[in-house]
Amino acid sequence: MRNATIKRKTKETDIELSLTIPDYGKKGSLKGSSGIGFFDHMLNSFCSHGGFDVELKCDGDLFVDGHHTVEDIGIVLGTALKEAAGDMRGIKRFSDILMPMDEALVMCALDYSGRSYLYFESDFASPMIGDYDTQLTVEFMRALAFNAGITLHLKKMYGANDHHVTEALYKAAGKCIGDALKIVSDEIMSTKGSL
């Protein structure tokens, strides 16, 4: 069982997150809340389809807006993934998916390599989905990728409904990260001998 607990406190947020990467193929779950309803829905989709069990405590400056909370949860979740993955011995490493949700289709491809990069291409018709700022999707994915050490590519292929597009992006990222972390051998999947 691979797990990690990360605490991060700033003047903007106070976050404690525990992550478990169970055996591949198990449905994951989110316990706790960010304080942003739609973002909780997205985190739950990420965890469920990625197979991650996450417990979250978060006190953020939501009286300002959701930016610090969403970005900082991305930082903490990415850090927890990095710690839980350890030296990444035996992981599958690469994963990709075309993720449909109703009329929306998104692409996700990643290399769980220790090299941080984000390519993100998606537009949104509305600035908000409930109490969630649609601009925060890229902020979360950037914080996640850079703190986990993932080369992450996400692209909206098409889609008219912002809820569907956003949920497909979170599901695709979760699914690919969970798949890439699947243990498939006892070797480090690199010609260099380390990741």
Report CA torsion sign: 118, 146, 109, 133: negative
User: For 164-181, how does the pLDDT look when each residue is reduced to its tens digit (9 = 90+)?
Assistant: 999 999 999 999 999 999
Instruction: State the DSSP H helix or E strand holding residue 168, giving kind and residue range, or none if neither.
Output: helix 162-180
pLDDT given at position 186: 87
pLDDT given at position 24: 67
pLDDT given at position 195: 65
Tokens of 165: 């597009």
Q: If you search the block for the tokens 């994951």, which residue do you land on? A: 28
- Give me the chain's average pLDDT, please: 95
Q: Domain 2-180 sits in which CATH superfamily?
A: Imidazole glycerol phosphate dehydratase; domain 1 (3.30.230.40)
CB 45 within 8 A of CB 170: yes
3-state SS string over 28-77? CEEEEECCCHHHHHHHHHHHHHHCCEEEEEEEECCCCCCHHHHHHHHHHH
User: For 70-82, how does the pLDDT look when each residue is reduced to its tens digit (9 = 90+)?
Assistant: 999 999 999 999 9
pLDDT given at position 41: 98
d(CA 85, CA 91): 9
